[in-house]
Structure 1
């Protein structure tokens, strides 16, 4: 775990949603190495238990769409809660003309309303000492995303919601920021690219390699790289940063491109 006493989050408690895989898990591991006590919340099943064991943290199995589950996760933090990282999310490919109500509502319920519910439940404890909220948005909030319309809408709303939090609770000593990743090698992105590969008759790795050519750094991010952005925003190094969106896309933003073409 490294020197937990001297880390950037030493002595703090962090609640992390979507912590079984991807960015959430990488952040839980990094936060723990920097001294945080971690509470990992999500639907990961055994994977969540493994992640909690790896971080020396607590696993709370539940759904960000269920208020009772959220209350249990917040309660598991104990009296002290300093950092909330909302990394739970999903993507369902859909288009403006054919998007179904079910696809739209499911996506917004997890990505946007789930984020709101977790923050709402956590605010009373965060207010006791001040703290930091980090919400995972996406560059899809700013890019044209005709093949993931509900996902893009949900992430744009997360940006707006995060700014509302920042201005409403700055006086309470609470900072709220968002990270907007581009392409990250996670189970969710692999699912999205597999669907594209099936449609085009190509391969997962072939599609990822083609994608790299449209990114300035010519690479796909690892979850640990986005976790480092989250650590900065959660730490005192970002003490005068709130209401901000940290874009971490390797220089890949191209507003006229689809996320997957």
Structure 2
């Protein structure tokens, strides 16, 4: 494995599990000093142990509630104090609830926006001066629902669409200040999060979880579910020098599941 990112500091929110973990492992394997931010100290420790055991540079970790300004500030201050730099920021935290519209309470909407959208906004704002100094990269992990509304996934679709718009707007600032800003839209990916969504959808549809999983895969015409590594490979590419002319773009990693041209 090359050491393409040796000496770089890569901050990944939601880096303890799922897609965020996959991205962290890919950067660590390539020599980056990763910093994993998530809410669970136990999950973070397990993730760091796993990455180190696989041969990657051991990540630094920060347990914080990224739904809050205080939590995001905690992550920033830890990175600034220990490393004094940030070359890459990957926003991968956030889990929104699926379900029937009339059964989704207000707090589910507020929680969905608090972690995925406002966590992303706050971390981008805090780390921007360091990213500007480094001529760095921002990659926001969003999701196909930003482009394809679904009545059974209204919170996720709304949050993702807001995050997509924010990413495109921020890329304009990035053009002026030398920071590349792009997004990835994962499709159905083999993570604990997607299993949770299948359970939530099954509760609404009256199907079993296995029936719901099969129906979703068939609906999107997929050969298989995606894997975190599929998304990680694109994230690594977008943060390399060979991708410097890619700016303000959102790329789907969904096996062709997105039906529209947008």
Does 1:106 pair with 2:111? yes
How many residue pairs get matched? 251
How do residues 71-150 of structure 1 correspond to structure 2 at under 5 angstroms?
71-77=73-79, 78-150=83-155
**Contact 1:39–1:76 under 8 Å retained in 2:** no
Aligned to 2:45: 49
Unmatched tracts of structure 1, length 5 or more: 256-261
Q: 1:95 deviation in Å?
A: 4.1
Contact 1:91 1:188 (C-alpha < 8 Å) held by counterparts: no
Q: Deviation string for 1:125-183 (max 9, x for gaps)?
A: 11112100000111101112111211101000111101111101222210110101111
Root-mean-square deviation (CA, aligned residues, Å) is 1.8
Partner SS, residue 40 of structure 1: strand
2:152–2:201: 8 Å Cα contact kept in structure 1? Answer: no
Structure 2: gaps spanning 5 or more residues: 52-57
Q: Deviations over 1:104-137 (max 9, x none)?
A: 1111111111110011111011111210000011
Is the contact made by 1:94 and 1:103 (CA closer than 8 Å) also made in structure 2? no
Partner-residue secondary structure (3-state), 2:252:
strand
The answer to whether 1:228 aligns with 2:233 is yes
8 A contact 1:19–1:25 mirrored in 2: yes
Match of residue 179 from structure 1: 184
**Contact 2:99 2:204 survives alignment (8 Å):** no
TM-score, normalisation: structure 2: 0.89
Bigger mean CA deviation after superposition, 13-22 or 102-111: 102-111
Q: Is the 8 A contact 1:183 1:189 kept in 2?
A: yes
**Preserved contact between residue 72 and residue 119 of structure 2 (Cα < 8 Å):** no
Residue 63 of structure 1 aligns to a residue whose secondary structure is coil
- Structure 2 residue 182 is matched with structure 1 residue 161: no
SS of structure 2 residue aligned to 1:213: helix
Q: CA deviation at 1:73?
A: 1.5
| Contact 2:7/2:32 (8 A) holds in 1 | yes
The aligned runs of 1:203-214 (5 Å cut-off) are 203-214=208-219
Q: 1:130 to 1:66 in 2, by over 3 A?
A: same
- What's the secondary structure of 1:171's corresponding residue? helix
The superposition leaves residues 160-210 of structure 1 with CA deviations (integer Å, 9 ceiling, x where unpaired) of 101111101222210110101111111111011123334556543443233
Q: Confirm or deny: 8 A CA contact 1:15 1:74 kept in the other structure.
A: no
